[in-house]
Amino acid sequence: MSRRSEQPVVGAAPPEQRIGKPKTSSGGRGKPLDYLLARVEAKHPGIEEEIGLSSAAVRAGRQVREMRQAKGWTQVRLAKELGWDQVRISNIERGEGTRGPTFDVLQKIAAVCDYDIEFRSRQERKAFRYADVLRRIAQTFPHAGPLPGTIVPGPQFAAACVAFTGSLGTAVQTYFSAVEASPAGTNAVEGEMSGITYVEMASHGKRMVMLPVLVEESDSQTDTGAELEVKLTYPHD
């Protein structure tokens, strides 16, 4: 890295650009900062003290902000509900310090935002995320179902997911048989729902929805000559 001082920092700055409304948006894409910090902390123990920033504090701040925004409140409004100063809310949301808010503080914030704080196993979290994906798919294909009634990891939930998958195949077929053929040809779009990546394909007005395959339950059917395939999988233990 000795040449560092000899090399210019990447290129020359173009003429002044004002930050305006972008023509595009990243939406909810990208990993939050706490993911990066957690990896860095694992490799460099104690680094959070050096930088004054920790994954725990940033994650807590992010979740407080999400709870507040879900209520449609400003920091001022949340502070008022709690009888606190707005600066305190701002500090928490920014992940100020290296330890983050105490459990007591988080509980108070959650309570006024109508949230419960629960500890879930990773398997439970996966099941909830998966159920969320199913719920959103069911909004697009309302004839599919029923959705799993209870979200508890295990054979019962897996069986309910598989049953949903089966009925989804028929629902998707019905849905797309009503869609006019598109001259646009075939394209594939990758998307993400609740952290689960899926690929959505469109081919001459017919679409295939695919989710990551851990345990595969597929339902291939033919719809007026065009292949229609639905793959939904439930992540088993």
Partner 1 sequence: MAQENQDLVTFEEPPVSVAAEAEALGRRPLVAILKRIKAILNGDKDFKEDKVWKSYRGVPLFVAEVGGELMVYAVEDLGGNPKPACKISVMFAGLRRAGCAAGDLRWNGSNDEVLWAGVVLPRCQRHFD
Binding site for partner 1 (CB under 8 A): 1, 3-4, 7-11, 13-14, 16-17, 19-26, 29-33, 35-37, 39-40, 43-44, 47, 50-53, 65, 69, 74-75, 90, 93-96
Tell me how far, at minimum, the Cβ of 99 lies from partner 1, in Å. 15
DSSP string, 33-55: HHHHHHHHHHHSTTHHHHHT--H
Tell me how far, at minimum, the Cβ of 152 lies from partner 1, in Å. 31
Give the CA count within 13 Å in the CB-facing half-sphere of 118: 9
Q: Considering the complex, state which of residue 86 and residue 123 has its C-beta at the smaller distance from partner 1.
A: 86
Q: Considering the complex, state which of residue 51 and residue 213 has its C-beta at the smaller distance from partner 1.
A: 51
Tell me how far, at minimum, the Cβ of 71 lies from partner 1, in Å. 14
Q: Considering the complex, state which of residue 28 and residue 225 has its C-beta at the smaller distance from partner 1.
A: 28
The span from the CA of 39 to the CA of 55, in Å, is 9
Q: Considering the complex, state which of residue 21 and residue 122 has its C-beta at the smaller distance from partner 1.
A: 21
**Cβ neighbours for 93, distance < 8 A, ≥ 6 positions apart:** 61, 62, 64, 65, 68, 75
Burial letters 177-202, b for 16+ CB under 10 A, else e: eeeeeeeeeeeeeeeebeebebeeeb
**Contact indicator for 137, 144 with CB cutoff of 8 Å:** yes
Tell me how far, at minimum, the Cβ of 132 lies from partner 1, in Å. 20
Tell me how far, at minimum, the Cβ of 22 lies from partner 1, in Å. 4
Q: Considering the complex, state which of residue 98 and residue 173 has its C-beta at the smaller distance from partner 1.
A: 98
Q: Which residues are registered as beta bridge partners of 233?
A: 216
